[in-house]
Amino acid sequence: MLCVSGSTGGDITTLGLIYMSLGVLMSALKVVYLEKIVRSVRKDMGMVSFLFWLDLFMMPILAPWAIANGEVFDVTNWGQKGSAIAWGFLIMVSIMGGLRAYSINLTVKYASALTKTAADIFTQALTIYCSLVIFHTTATPLLHAGIAVTIAGFAFYTAIKYNEKQKAKAAAKAQKTIEEEPFLANKGKSVESV
């Protein structure tokens, strides 16, 4: 959205903008719910087991959809069915998708959904700059301003999270000092004299 609306070339429609906004919202909700699910099953199963069961439970949703939109029939008529190179690429892409899903689940397991979403937004901003170079797109000041605001927001969020962690460490250290204090105050005295 940001790249198309801020570049001199490309097409943008109101309906497309609405769909992209809904896609971003649904993606954020997906990560939030994924975090809740991962945190609830963290002790019971590992990430690979979780992905296996998640994929298994997605089949009743994806299989009818693949039949309804005709993808199953496209696969049966695929001209590259006999090519080992094509199957190698297909397997490689599948493995990369699995690694991506594994890394997302791992990130959500050890960080928050908001942290993952903020990192994704920062990555998308950098991807826009890469696409400007690759596709020789002319950028407008609006695009640069939007990306600058995005990166500034990411930096602000990172600073807040860093400060929260530092405060939590300081509070934990202070609590540890308070717990150790009575033992240090009585050092060298016998138990009977106390």
The pLDDT tens digits of the residues spanning 17-61 come to: 888 888 888 887 887 787 787 778 767 777 777 778 878 888 888
List of residues 6+ apart from 121 with CB closer than 8 A:
150, 153, 154
pLDDT tens-digit series, residues 134-191: 888 888 888 888 888 888 888 888 888 888 888 988 888 877 766 655 555 555 555 5
Q: Is residue 156 part of a domain?
A: yes
Tell me: pLDDT of 3 over 70: no
Q: Is residue 165 part of a domain?
A: yes
Domain that holds residue 17: 2-185
Q: Is residue 193 part of a domain?
A: no
Q: What pLDDT score was predicted for residue 165? A: 85
Q: Is residue 36 part of a domain?
A: yes
16: confidence class by pLDDT, cuts 50, 70, 90: confident
68: confidence class by pLDDT, cuts 50, 70, 90: very high
Q: Is residue 190 part of a domain?
A: no
Average pLDDT over residues 61-82: 86
For the chain, the domain total comes to: 1
pTM beyond 0.75: no
Q: Is residue 87 part of a domain?
A: yes
C-beta atoms surrounding 3 within 10 Å: 21
Q: What pLDDT score was predicted for residue 84? A: 92
Q: Are 47 and 109 in contact (CB under 8 A)?
A: yes
Closest C-alpha among 115, 92, 89, 100 to residue 35: 115
Q: What pLDDT score was predicted for residue 88? A: 93
Q: Which residues of the chain form beta strands (DSSP E)?
A: none
Cα angle, residue 112 at apex, residues 96 and 92 outer, rounded to 5°: 0
Q: Is residue 64 part of a domain?
A: yes
Q: Is residue 194 part of a domain?
A: no
Q: What pLDDT score was predicted for residue 85? A: 93
Report the distance separating Cα 155 and Cα 151, nearest Å. Answer: 6
